[in-house]
Amino acid sequence: MTANDVVDRIKKNIGIPWNEKSYRDTFKVGDPNTEVKGIATTFMATLDLLQRAHAAGLNFVVTHEPTFWSDRDTVAELANDPIYKFKVDYCTRNNMVVWRYHDHIHSRPPDLIWVGLAHALGWQDRQVAGSFNRFTFPQTTLGALATEIQRRMSIRALRVVGDPSAKVSSAVVGMGYGMPRVTPDADVVIGGENPEAGAQFDDTEYILDAAYFGRNKGQIILGHAISEEPGMEDCANWLRTFVSEVPIQFIRSGEPFWSPKT
């Protein structure tokens, strides 16, 4: 079974038409005709992840995010970069293949990345009827909610904006490079990663000012990896339903950061 065979089987089983124009969901390194010994699914094909996948005997990596540090995995200007050379050489030497699975895992119903995040938050049953990204919960404080999420998702570098004592009972949630715009009907916005200022809408400044006026608003920034990694475990489970020839493992690339004590 080659990497190409695995991808063909994904295309057959995904249940939506395959968009051949997607520049994301393509092979990033290695020969697609390489024989697959095992499959690792992960959030991001970092060098550390590739090293651990190789140690586990898995030579085909299915990654949600880029391998070479940009959305298009543009390598034209990296020819002389020492880390680029190191990473490519490592894959070549160890017969590894990397394929990105981003656009289609989001657009297939249900979006497995979203399923993974809702499960990681423990909020599968808290969804507002008729909405996929709005949740309600028994009234708590922003501080208690952030503490619960931090503990439950084991986050080292969680960031929170707003008054910790603000009473909150509803949230709108985004994932990845996505922070929902704060709205009047949600107390808390939760997302993966976002620019701190100067974007189309700056939640952070808005929440700071809402807190000044005593409004019960908060922002919880999980981290891009923290928000999207759980869904790649669901991806591994899904792959097992139609690939039985080789072992399949979800391997965490993990939260990239540590933070000093505050």
> Which amino acid, one-letter code, is at 238?
W
Helix H or strand E encompassing 236: helix 224-240
170 binds another protein (CB under 8 A): no
147 binds another protein (CB under 8 A): yes
What strands lie across the sheet with 39-44, from one edge to the other? 27-29, 97-100, 60-65, 39-44, 248-250
Among the listed residues 30, 223, 230, 231, the single contact to another protein using CB under 8 A? 223
When the beta carbons of 161 and 173 are compared against another protein, the nearer one is: 161
Asked whether the beta carbons of 184 and 216 are under 8 A apart, the reply is no
Pick the piece of the chain touching another protein (CB under 8 A) from 6-14, 25-33, 54-62, 145-153. Answer: 145-153
∠ CA 67-193-135, nearest 5°, is: 125
222 binds another protein (CB under 8 A): no
Pick the piece of the chain touching another protein (CB under 8 A) from 4-12, 26-34, 201-209, 240-248. Answer: 201-209
Contacts of 110 (CB under 8 A, 6+ apart): none
When the beta carbons of 115 and 208 are compared against another protein, the nearer one is: 208
* Half-sphere exposure of residue 118: CA atoms within 13 angstroms, side-chain side: 18
165 binds another protein (CB under 8 A): no
193 binds another protein (CB under 8 A): yes
**What is the DSSP track for 87-142?**
HHHHHHHTT-EEEE--HHHHHSSS-HHHHHHHHHHT-TT-BPTT-SSEEEEEEEEH
Q: Which residue has the tokens 């499959």?
A: 39
Among the listed residues 20, 213, 241, 244, the single contact to another protein using CB under 8 A? 213
Among the listed residues 1, 9, 26, 164, the single contact to another protein using CB under 8 A? 164
Pick the piece of the chain touching another protein (CB under 8 A) from 14-22, 127-135, 146-154, 230-238. Answer: 146-154
Residues 233-262 binding another protein (CB under 8 A) are: 256-260, 262
206 binds another protein (CB under 8 A): yes
∠ CA 75-39-9, nearest 5°, is: 90
210 binds another protein (CB under 8 A): yes
Q: What span, in angstroms and rounded, lies between the C-alpha atoms of 118 and 112?
A: 10
- Residue 93 has phi, psi (to 5 degrees) of -60, -35
When the beta carbons of 36 and 149 are compared against another protein, the nearer one is: 149
> Which amino acid, one-letter code, is at 181?
R
When the beta carbons of 212 and 244 are compared against another protein, the nearer one is: 212
The site for another protein (CB under 8 A) is made up of 44, 46-48, 51, 65-66, 69-71, 77-78, 81-83, 86-87, 143, 146-147, 150-151, 157-161, 164, 177, 184, 193, 195-206, 208-210, 212-213, 215, 221, 223-225, 256-260, 262
